[in-house]
Structures are given as structure tokens and as C-alpha cells.
Amino acid sequence: MVRNGKRQPSNVSTIAWNAVPDDMLQKMIETGYMPHKGIPNKVHGMGPWLPKHFPELSHKYMPNGTEVHFLLQASKELDDNVQMISKELEKIGIHGAHDAFKMMRPHSYKSDLWRFMNLWYYGGLYMDAKLGLDAPAHEWIDFDKDEFVFSADRLGTVNCPMAMTQYHPMGALAAKMLIERVENRTYFDDPYELTGPGVWRDVANGTGMLTTYNSRTWIKYPGSARFDSYLITDKDDMTNITEQLQDGADKKYRVIKTNPYGEDIWRQMKACKTCNDYKVLNKDRETYCDQPGTPCDGKDFLQW
């Protein structure tokens, strides 16, 4: 499905080292936290529960021996994971990751930081809990040569799904930008700008690391993303809008499906009684836990 011409050649790197701060690069060299080619066989995800499709489809469509790394929100395992990687980021000069994670009310925002941290530290593929693979992953990821693969949509870049090699500086730089925004108690009119697609877009555009090799996938939302979304490889094959709108046309190109087992996971995970909703919290200026708002712990806060 991915044309050979769009695969990353073994002698080409998409990492723009001039965009990595000198002090950070020096610490990466000293610690040995330097990226290599290839995407590890690891799938990351987090949520209030583990949907059945997530491990089943990951094991079906990822390479043999793939590890599924899924952590439950507000769990001790999640907090331990964030604390551990926060300490590792400090070794390359990035401080405050755990504090930033704890400071944000919305679990969706926490998830945005968590995926950058884990993709940097472990490498692999991140997907939201509502998504499931719908075709062999090697059809759009080169597990031997790729350094990172991101997706685009009609509005620009998105931060799910993402594949990254271990210690790629993009993961660390995205975490750094998000941490700084939290430390400054930043707000934007657009709720997506603070942590998720906004951070990824700003880092990607600011570093110049987007190329035809790593931006080869395209997300199409038929109607509303909450009902279904397709990730289509080789978007040049889908240039005809009439073809895109034909029933069933996307099945030829789809590699990831929302709610693959028919359950509305998106809606179930958004069913929040106390309204831990990033859009509402952003509008009411209640994103941060040291500002008035819903509790930042307790059973009610376990809702998305």
C-alpha cells in the first residue's frame, strides 16, 4: 500500500539535528540516548479500561512478538511510568514532566503528554484506545528503516496514530513544549492547541522534520470523528473527492478503524458525570489543578 518511492531509504535520515538544542544534543550523546532507525514492536495506549480490540488487533496486525503497553488512567502503574520517564528526560535537560502531568485536569491532555514521553523512551506505535488496526502495520510502517511516521488530516497534523523510533528528539521536544505551556498555565481559544495536535504541529513545523517519508498517511473523517475515521495510506491515491465519498471506497485504503468491534468506545469513554472535558475546562479556564474546578483526584475524577 505504501509505494516504494515513499519509503525512507536506508541512507536518509529525517532528523534535523540543527533543530535540536546544543545542550540537549550533548546530553543525548553523553547518556547514549541517541535514536536509531527502525520502529520497535510495541503498541502504546491508555484509558479508563482496556478495550478488547486493542490487544487482539495489535497482535493480529503488528509483527510477531509485539508488546502491548496499555496503562489504566489514574492507576499506580501509570503514575510510576510517568515518574520513571520524567527522571530519564531530566538526563537530557528536560525537567518537570511528572509535575506537568499531575497539574492537568483533563485525562485527554494527560494522554497527550504521556504518548510523547513513552514514544521517546520506548519507541513504537501509539494509538488512542478507540482505534484498532485494520490491516498489517507493515503496509504503512517500515519497521526497519522508519524513524517516525505521523498522520495528517484536512486541518493539518494530528498526534494519533504516531510511530517513532526510540529516543527520537521529536518526542522529547514535544514533551518539552507541552511542559513549558503547563508551567506557564497557558490557555488558547482552540482547546486542541495546548497539548495535542497543536504541540505536535508546532514542533513538527518548527524543526523542519516533516518529509514525504514520514508524512505518508492521511486521516479522513466521514461525517464525524466520533463515529468512524479511516487512516488511508498514500493519500495521492485518494485525490478524487467523488471516489472518497463512494460507499466502501475507503476499505481499499483503510489501515486503522475507529471502534473496530462496533462498540462506541469514543462515546463510552467520554461519558463523564463531573465533566472532566478538556473543551469545557478550557472554556471555563479550569484546565489546571491549582485553579478552581472539579476535583483532581477521587472516584469522580476517574471519568473521562
Distance between CA atoms of 279 and 301, rounded to whole angstroms? 16
**Domains of the chain (ranges, CATH numbers):** 19-302 (3.90.550)
Q: With 60 as the cut, is the pLDDT of residue 288 above it?
A: yes
> What sign has the CA pseudo-torsion 54, 55, 59, 63?
positive
Model confidence band, residue 250 (pLDDT cutoffs 50, 70, 90): low
Mean pLDDT of all residues in 13-24 = 94
- The rounded distance, in Å, linking the Cα atoms of 108 and 115 is 11
Query: What sign results for the dihedral spanned by CA atoms 77, 79, 82, 83?
Result: negative
| Gap between the Cα atoms of 276 and 293, Å rounded | 9
How many Å apart are CA 280 and CA 206, to the nearest integer?
29
Residue 156's beta-bridge partner residues?
153
The predicted pLDDT at position 223 comes to 45
pLDDT at 246 over 70: no
User: Of the segments 5-19, 52-66, 275-289, which one has the largest average pLDDT value?
Assistant: 52-66
Phi, psi (rounded to 5 degrees) for 53: -70, -25
pTM of the model: 0.90
Q: Say if residue 189's pLDDT is above 60.
A: yes
Residues 265 and 259: beta-carbon distance below 8 Å? yes
Stretch 187-208: mean pLDDT: 89
| pLDDT score, position 225 | 43
> What average pLDDT does this structure show over 214-236?
56
Instruction: Tell me what pLDDT residue 242 has.
Output: 47
> How big is the CA angle at 119 (ends 221 and 294), to the nearest 5 degrees?
70
Nearby residues of 224 by Cβ (< 8 Å), 6 or more positions away: none
Check pLDDT > 80 for residue 215.
no
What are 133-165's pLDDT values in tens digits?
Answer: 988 999 889 999 999 988 776 666 778 889 999
pLDDT of residue 226: 42
Least confident of 63-77, 138-152, 226-240, 273-287: 226-240
